[in-house]
Structure 1
Amino acid sequence: MSVTIQYRSQQLPEMEPSSELLRLIDIFEAETQVVIVKRNPDPVIDAYLAVVAHQMGSGFRHVLKAGSTVPHHLLPAHTGQEAFVADLNQLVGIFADLLDCPSVGLRLEVVNRAMCPRFHVDHVGIRLLCTYRGPATEWLEDACADRSKLGPAPPDVADEDSGVILNPAGIHRATPYAIVLLKGSQWQGNEGSGIIHRSPTVPSNTAPRVLLALDALW
């Protein structure tokens, strides 16, 4: 089961009682494997990444203690940097509050191709993804998948030919800036489950793709 929330405000309060973001806690329901909160793109961040994405190499990794902020020096200095850092900090704060974890592992991936092009399940608890530039994450409804076909496959066999997709109508794609919570197979009681998902193909005219991934650390 998936849950999609439309949230239009650019100001995302960190788990305020009146916030629709509180519905992110639906990820803790046993039958829910993915929750998506749609957000409007930020033109300031869009303009910033259009200029600096090609200067960011493959991105970076950083561990943040709950309540700390992303160091500015990790990102190129340019107009819009402050807005981007503020949004990253906001998502880190929301995620840390949600998981009640002391630290968060942050990955900012800058890629020109699909990192994980095959449908798979992450061996994690709950992961947050947010695509800022380029196409966003794709996922496959469980009822439209054959889990026995997950796993290593010959490199020349696409998902569409491997048998993992029983019905292509079950393939969905998140939108840019959406907060995507994915439940993995290591979440308590979720063994043998976990949302089936993959990285999208990155067209040359939208490259590089910029993706945020957050994991809880204890």
Structure 2
Amino acid sequence: MQSQVVLKEQTKNNIIMRFANSTEPSVLTDIYDDSVNLALWQRDLSSEIKADVAQFIGAAKHLDRSAFIRAKHIEEDIRDELKRTTLGDAFISNTSELVDMFCTLFDLDQVGFRIRLLDLPMCPRFHIDRVPCRLVTTFSGQGTQWLDGNNIDRGKLGHGSQGLDDSESGLYSATSSIENMTAGDVALLKGSAWIGNEETAIVHRSPPYKSAEKRLLLTLDFLS
């Protein structure tokens, strides 16, 4: 299946931005298109990965690990980082594949790896990331949300909201502007440190908290 590129965002400077989505992992290469600020691989997790995650979440109370993962020692480094958890071979193998894809796509020798078990919103306000590009995927629970930017007022981000909730500040015109990832989806989010994307970084947030829900979230970052 060819990646489906969807027109989704227009800035105040009349620069048209898009997000690309597909069920094929090759869609992630679309992040190099200057007009794309989010590339979304819509994938289904295998039953083995779901079982690994369910077993871990059922027993774990907390997880927040950060590490540098070397491109030449990906699985070794991830196994070392997760050795004190009950996350099994299926999860580690899949996570290793994602890190390898990220390193290959951006020609990186190492990446910043962070995995968290969350029972509260991590970034409940809409915001942009001041990084070149970040990989985000949720293995369980709600996925990251982002804004259909046709009606975004970026001046309402951060202090521009004047303390008002995002739904009241005028940042977006309607709840229908909010797009959602689902568990398993893999997204590349282009930040403001990507050259040429300083004014068009994707606007996103953690999803609103649902009672008793636990989210298992993985993020990958460039290292400076």
TM-score where L is the length of structure 2: 0.84
- 2:63 alignment counterpart: 58
How far residue 41 of structure 1 moved from its aligned partner, in angstroms, is: 2.2
> Which of residues 123, 128, 137 is equivalent to 2:130?
123
1:102 maps to a residue whose letter is: D
What percentage of aligned pairs have identical amino acids? Answer: 32
Work out the CA distance in 2 between the residues paired with 1:175 and 1:31. Answer: 24
Give the Cα separation in 2 of the matches to 1:50 and 1:75.
17
1:102 Cα deviation (Å)?
A: 1.1
Does structure 2 conserve the Cα–Cα contact (< 8 Å) formed by 1:67 and 1:93? no
| Partner of residue 198, structure 1 | 205
Secondary structure of the corresponding residue to residue 33 of structure 1: strand
Partner of 2:79: 71
State the 1:59 CA deviation.
Answer: 2.2
Shift of 1:94: 0.2
Give yes or no for the alignment of 1:43 onto 2:47: yes
Q: Determine the structure 1 residue equivalent to 2:21.
A: 4
How far has the Cα of 1:96 moved from its partner?
A: 0.4
Structure 1 stretch displaced more, 62-71 or 48-57:
48-57
Q: Which runs of 5+ in 2 are unaligned?
A: 1-17
Q: Are positions 1:208 and 2:214 aligned together?
A: yes
Matched AA of 1:84? F
Alignment coverage as a number of residue pairs: 202
Q: Could you tell me which runs of 5 or more consecutive residues in structure 1 were left unpaired when the two chains were aligned.
A: 8-20
3-state DSSP class of the match of 1:71? helix
Deviations 1:112-135 (A, max 9, x none): 111001111100001000100100
Distance 2:105 2:215 in 1: 26
Equivalent position amino acid for 1:198 in 2: R
Q: Within the alignment, does 1:94 sit opposite 2:94 as a pair?
A: no
* 3-state SS of paired residue (2:36): coil
* 2:21 maps to amino acid: T
Letter in 1 for 2:115: L
Q: Alignment partner of 2:193: what SS?
A: coil
Find the aligned partners of 1:203 and 1:46 in 2 and give their Cα distance: 20
Q: In 2, distance between residues paired with 1:46 and 1:30?
A: 35
> Cα–Cα, structure 1 residues 77 and 109, in superposed 2: closer, same or farther, change >3 Å?
closer
Q: 1:73 to 1:171 in 2, by over 3 A?
A: closer
